[in-house]
Amino acid sequence: MSDNVQILVVGDGGVGKTSLLITYVTDSFPHPYIPSLADFYDPVIRKVEGQNIRLTLMDTGGGEDYDRLRPLSYYGRDIILLCFDIRNESTLLRVKEKYIPDLDYHVPTIPRILVGCKSDLRITEPNSCVDKDQTERSANALGLHYFETSSIKGHGLQTCFDKAMRLGLDYSRLPKKKKQEFYKRPPKKMIAPVKPIKEKPPTSSVEESTFAEDWLQMLNNPKYPDVIFLIEGGQQECKAHSIVLSSASELFCRIIRDQKYSGLVGTSEDTSSDKVEGIDTICCSKNNDGRNIITIEINHTFEVVTFRQLLKFLYTGHLGIIFILGHPGTILETNKIEQLTELRRAANTFKLPYLNDICYNIENSEECLNQSIGTYLNMETGKKMKEFYFNQTTDCDVKFEVEGEHITASAVVLYSRCPVFADMLSIEPESEKIESSEIQLPNTQQDSFLALLEFLYTDHAPIHDANCTELLLTADKYGILKLVNYCEIYIINMLDKLTKSSSENGNAVQDVIDALLTAQVYNAEQLTRWCLHTISTNYDKFNNTEQFSQLSDKTKKHIETHRWPPLSYLQEMEKFERRRTRRKCSIL
């Protein structure tokens, strides 16, 4: 006498259910594809552990049209095989989302096995198949045994059906009343909610330098010029500024600062090494407001176009767009070689080796190298400006009073580099002496103001030596965005180190909130974003402090919205803990 075991297969159409059954029964793969509605196969006798089993196999259709008929096949079975195509992940998802809930509703106690069909595709199409380890973990979480089979190769069928017959045999032998108690699948593994990934801090950047552009604007539209170049026999003139010329050129520094006029004036016939063949005459006079004006006559062999390009190089460190008699123009391609040749002659005449290098790079289509040359020259010009003119008692025409101390500066630097000072200086007529009155700057710290002036001269500021927060306020007050950015990055770096130090967390809370309040008032957008991110991602540390109450309602709302972990995750975690507690209690 043999025991009866009835096996039912379910799954989507085309996953390989029918081929699985036919191959197992007949040891041959069916051709072509055979769609199924609900087929019974003749019982076969199989041996399991030395015992004969009368095995009845039943197939089901996988299409949606059979959804209402399929449950009729569930009842009276001893084991159910849940089949999916390992090449089609969506068929595995439907097993989880469609077939298992359907079985739970109609026949919750019948044992089940998860079967991955077409395992031969793991060799021929490995990249298109579902991950085996992940599938096994999913099956384990569902309380299911998992097997992979290949009907066309005959692999895995015997192992799968042997296990199915053992489980089905145990289930079929139970009395009806005990079947409810027999098959209690392991409870699904409770998976805690996934904590969202903490967003990275916002990146900070520095506004691009306007050093060259600011000085180019002063060359094109001169304000407070104190050097006049006469070109082409005096028919053309170019106005310039001694502070730029003496900082960018050793030759003009000797002319302007050392006032060595006589030894430098010469002609092409002069053989003395001190002579400059490009300069015919130099004279110094005073204008109506008492300032010295140096007039330099350039040798007639240099055209105005060439000399304006040379001046642009001194002001910006590069070549490019120039202004000819008030009209913009460029180096024309047709005259490119000729103009570059003239520029190289001017570079040699006026002792400007880097201009020679720039012309050489243009001739050899290596203009990309000129950018680094220009950056270096701007930096060197700024250093010389600071050395020669920064807060000097001479050569400065604007006076400030800050905290009772007198600070001097050059009007052309203030006008070209700072829009606030440009507006301030524009109020006074140019004909009047600028230094006739002293500008009072109340509520300004001396160290911060000196750091700001140094930035105007050099495009860099001694942030480490000043009160960075106060310097940020001063930079914002005078509209120097790049300096604001420098201060923001410096403050962010300091606060970041402080917040990561466990021994100073109390101080960090107050410092971050103070920085946020300051940043919001003084338009420090990058610092504002960083502080909001830091408070939001460390919500519990900041929320329970007295300092948090100092923030505005709008700021608090933003922090609540972007807090980490988010409130939705905490609510899900609370539900999870309650379910886990109930499960532990039920087991006990």
Asked whether 542 and 509 are in contact (CB, 8 A), the reply is yes
Domains of the chain: 3-182 (3.40.50.300), 216-388 (3.30.710.10), 390-458 (3.30.710.10), 481-588 (no CATH)
3-class SS of residue 332: coil
pLDDT by residue for the chain (588 residues), tens only, comes to 568 889 999 999 889 898 899 888 888 887 765 555 446 567 888 887 778 888 889 988 877 777 788 888 888 889 999 999 999 999 999 999 889 988 988 888 899 999 999 999 998 888 889 999 889 988 988 889 999 999 998 899 999 999 999 998 888 888 776 665 544 454 555 677 888 888 889 999 999 999 999 999 999 999 999 999 999 888 899 999 999 999 999 999 988 887 665 555 554 444 344 577 889 888 888 877 777 899 999 998 999 999 999 999 999 999 864 433 333 444 445 577 888 899 999 999 999 999 999 999 988 888 889 999 999 999 999 999 999 999 987 778 899 999 999 999 999 999 999 999 999 888 755 444 444 468 899 889 999 999 999 999 999 988 887 889 999 999 999 999 999 999 999 999 999 988 887 554 667 899 999 999 999 999 899 999 999 999 999 998 898 888 899 999 999 999 999 999 899 899 888 888 887 777 655 444
For residues 289-305, one letter each, b for 16 or more C-beta atoms within 10 angstroms of the residue's C-beta and e for the rest, the string is eebeebebbbbeebbbb
Give the pLDDT of residue 35.
Answer: 53
Around Cβ 411, how many Cβ atoms within 10 Å? 22
Its pTM stands at 0.64
| Category of 475 on φ-ψ map: left (φ > 0), alpha (ψ -120 to 50) or beta | alpha
Q: Rounded to an integer, what distance in angstroms lies between the CA atom of residue 497 and that of residue 512?
A: 11
Dihedral, CA of residue 136, residue 139, residue 141 and residue 143, to nearest 10: -130
State yes or no: cis peptide before 193, omega within 30 of 0: no
Give the pLDDT of residue 348.
Answer: 94
